Amino acid sequence: MNPEIWAEARRLFAIEKLTKSAIANRLRIDRHTVRRALARDQAPTAKAAGRPRPTKLDAFKPQLQNRLREYPELSAAKLLIELRRIGYPGGYSQLKRYLAGLRPKTDTAFLRIETLPGEQAQVDWANCGTIQVGSAIRKLSAFVMVLSYSRMIYIEFTLSQCLEDFLSAHLNAFRFFGGIPKKILYDNLKAVVLSRVGRDIRFNPKFVDFAGYNLFEAIPCAPGKGNEKGKVENGIKFIRSSFLAGYDAASWPHLQPHANTWRDEVANVRLHGTTHTRPIDRFEAERSLLNPLPPKPYDTSIVRPVKATNQAFVLFDANAYSVAWELAKKPLTLKASAHEVHIFDRDRLAASHNRSYEKHLYFEKPEHRQGLLAARKAAQGAKLHDTFTDLGDIAKDYLQCLIYSELHVPHHLQKILDMAGLYGKTEVLQALEHALNFKAFGAPYIQNIILQQRARRGLTEMPPIKLAHKPQWTQLCVEDQDLAVYDDLFENPNDPKK
């Protein structure tokens, strides 16, 4: 069962009130298939089309193409006789189907057809140039739906023609009309038709699911037959001449309200050139014949798999939205509506932002960075502890005592490490050992001890070196050398070994 069968079976059962047997006969499928279709809430996944199977006619197609170029009027029966002579083993039906696709199309006269109330609507996009949104310039489109009987028109301006915006505009149109037409006619839009070869149509699976859920029949026009949806094309021409012409669409937030006013006060109350009646008046006979709206609207949100950047931002529609710093570089899921952007970490909502239609902007929430600052402080504190304890065992003992002293430990550690860079590791360790003996905890005690020791040796105080342009150089430490070897030289100057 393909998605098209599923959608049509649901429509025939719910709208046309056919029995399962009648549906099976109409669609030429088994009754069990009808039961499975009616039991499903969503369209089945369409299977990928395989390679076309080779036919007996393949080797003779070049000859047929050449013959038809020379004599387009040759009949299939005549060509079959010619092919038989050169060894064609296939049948007449296969040949006839292939020739139908090769012959030039003949011009056809069309009759003007009026549809019944509530029977049909026509839909199309209108390209409307560009519009400025903040500091960005974006493409502007108009979604247009026209009810074929009353000519009631719905118009919605969008900044893209993506499938989700297309489906969302449908729902807004259904709400505006208060119901759903039984059939909707389309051009061969990619949102509706993925590919088409002759009568074989491959519909967009997401759109088939949408149509099946809302119980309307999607009908694509034949290629090159724009007259089949002339009502919506005439509606777009009227929008261009009556609304867009001379209108300064410089403000995106005000465009749709102005379009709604024009729709209600001009388009749907004018005397229509074909029906010679106001669309709003004919709509009174059509309103009650539209199919009812489903109890729960179809979810038309944009859903995309995304990956957070190393700075914990998610990129969407040319803007960046922040997430918690722990989610940096992680795969996430983005779900965007017309006004909001939600980001999920599996099933958990990780972040929510108001959606922006400008470009190249960053939207950051303070709470997403608070944890990062705390983590950085913790990392810096851990690095400070490790650097201090690397001074030696005495430093480790002094650190434990410093922790229990209720002082601000990172501040005192940094001050003592600065002294190590200024006076050397040896002097600092001697001062730490002296301070431990007297239970003197804190950087000021260490500095006083060092200054006293240096004064006894006749050394002056060394001012700290400050390099304004290269402050990182002040953090460099020179490895202290063990001077005990020089003390040994002067212990016994009369020793002949020395």
Q: Read off the tokens for 339.
A: 């006004």
Which residues are paired to 321 by β-bridges? 314, 363
Cβ-contact 180, 214 below 8 angstroms: yes
Taking CB atoms within 8 Å and a gap of at least 24, the contacts of 302-309 are 302/162, 302/164, 302/334, 302/335, 302/336, 302/337, 303/333, 303/334, 303/335, 304/333, 304/334, 304/336, 305/331, 305/332, 305/333, 305/334, 306/331, 306/332, 306/333, 306/334, 306/343, 307/331, 307/332, 308/332
* pLDDT tier, 378 (very low <50, low <70, confident <90, very high otherwise): low
Mean pLDDT across 185-204: 80
Residue 276 gets the label, from left (phi > 0), alpha (psi -120 to 50) or beta, of: left
Q: What is the C-alpha end-to-end distance of the chain, expressed in Å?
A: 103
Cβ-contact 330, 345 below 8 angstroms: yes
120-289, CATH topology level: Nucleotidyltransferase; domain 5 (3.30.420)
Q: What length is written for the chain? A: 498
CA 6 to chain centre: 28
> Under CATH, which number does the domain 1-46 receive?
1.10.10
The per-residue pLDDT for range 226-273, each reduced to its tens digit, is: 567 889 999 999 998 888 877 765 678 889 999 999 999 999 999 998
More confident residue, 335 or 441: 335
Flag whether pLDDT at 70 surpasses 70: yes
Helices (H), 178-287: 205-214, 230-239, 252-265, 279-286
Q: Read off the tokens for 23.
A: 């549906």
Indicate the range of 102-106, 156-160, 334-338, 380-384 predicted with least confidence.
Answer: 102-106
Q: How far apart are CA 194 and CA 210, in angstroms?
A: 15
Handedness of CA 80, 83, 85, 90 (dihedral sign): negative
Mean pLDDT across 429-453: 87
Domains of the chain by residue range: 1-46, 57-105, 120-289, 302-365, 383-487
Q: How far apart are CA 356 and CA 338, in angstroms?
A: 9
Which residues are paired to 197 by β-bridges? 200
Q: How far apart are CA 372 and CA 324, in angstroms?
A: 8
Flag whether pLDDT at 49 surpasses 60: no
